[in-house]
Amino acid sequence: MKTHLPDWFCSRVSSFDPHSCWVWTGYKTKAGYGQLPRRVGSTSYAHRFSYTSLVGPIPPGMTVDHLCKCTSCVNPAHMEVVTRGENAKRGGSPHSVNSRKTHCSHGHELAGENVYLTPDGRRKCRECGRTAARIYQRQKRSINA
């Protein structure tokens, strides 16, 4: 596969083992993405260059997701072209992690009638909300008694 990549690119890749990550050893961004030299034209990320060189063009509005979660990997077998939204959902940010949760911290399912959406878009468990309200009311009554 590497024969379709220029020598200057190959010299900045750790290994071309088809079953493991091809780690970019050249300059990287703070997030760990391989950065190409400015002379290479419009594609500035090493993983995008590798993908377009070996697989084909990336459609407009789409992005490349690292299935291996290694941002410095340039192995196109470890990449998938997805929408930006899908790529964000698959990420590790707190918002992404929470959006994948199926149950609250007390084990209640976060689905159907048991989910309340807050005005800022967060999901809340209705059962936990009812439990918290009952505890609050009991405490309030015991103070006033």
Q: How many CB atoms lie within 10 A of CB 9?
A: 21
Provide the 8-state DSSP code for 141: H
Q: Is the pTM of this model over 0.85?
A: no
The domains located in the chain, with CATH, are 1-92 (3.90.75), 101-145 (no CATH)
> Measured between alpha carbons, how far is residue 24 from residues 43, 68, 89, 105 in Å?
15, 14, 25, 39
Q: What is the pLDDT of residue 50?
A: 95
**Could you tell me the two tokens for 143?**
């103070």
Q: Are strands 79-83 and 62-66 parallel, antiparallel or unpaired?
A: antiparallel
Q: In a structure prediction context, what are the per-residue pLDDT tens digits for the chain, which is 145 residues long? A: 555 899 999 999 999 998 999 999 999 999 999 999 876 655 589 999 999 999 999 999 999 999 999 999 999 999 999 998 888 888 877 877 788 789 999 999 999 999 999 998 888 999 999 999 999 999 988 888 7
